[in-house]
Amino acid sequence: MFLKNQEAEKEGVLQAAKLMTTAARTAPKGKGVDNLATAVLGEGEEKEELVAEMKGLADESGAGFFKRDAENIAEADAVVLLGTETGAIGVPACGYCGFEDCSAQSQSENGVCAFNTGDLGIAVGSAVSKAADLRIDNRIMFTAGKAAVRLDLLGEDVEIAYGIALNAAGKNPFFDRG
């Protein structure tokens, strides 16, 4: 096998993306409940759909940063998607979700378990830490996660997600953004 320049670097980014999902999976989970969903998008149809959905969200919402981020995703060598379910996990005497307890949260259609979202944040931190260890340029994007949720890329039960754009180039394309 002979890989040169960008071909080798793109392959390295995809390997890093896989390691990032592993780091996210092994991050601590509240009460030992693992509701994390992961995916890696390289070049291809799913990434193009994600870019199109992000642009659509920009048009729908008037939030131009969705379009800016879509352009970054289009440039990215790969995207890691991390998401979570939001249902209660049964932590006694918590109430961090705004409800009295998990039973009350489970009966509501608007409840979001604080442990699941906290676990997602820890998983994202673990993933980008691995990217930093490997010197892969990256950017955490709420916008990519929102589009991924709308496309059900992580499954229909996932309601909150983040995307992490990855790239290997002479200049980080996610740094100087308009």
Query: Is the pLDDT at 129 greater than 90, yes or no?
Result: yes
Q: What global pTM score does this model have?
A: 0.94
Q: Helices (H), strands (E): how many in the chain? A: 6, 4
d(CA 38, CA 57): 22
- 135: helix, strand or coil: coil
Tokens at 74, concatenated:
């289009």
pLDDT in tens, 67-101: 999 999 999 999 999 999 999 999 989 999 999 98
Q: Which domain holds residue 50?
A: 6-167
User: Domain tally for the chain?
Assistant: 1
Residue 37 pairs in a beta bridge with: 83
In a domain, 173, yes or no: no
Looking at residue 69, which CATH number applies to its domain? 3.40.109.10
d(CA 109, CA 74): 34
pLDDT in tens, 8-61: 899 999 999 999 999 999 999 999 999 999 999 999 999 999 999 999 999 999
In a domain, 126, yes or no: yes
Which phi-psi region, left, alpha or beta, contains residue 76 (left: φ > 0; alpha: ψ -120 to 50)?
beta
pLDDT in tens, 16-27: 999 999 999 999
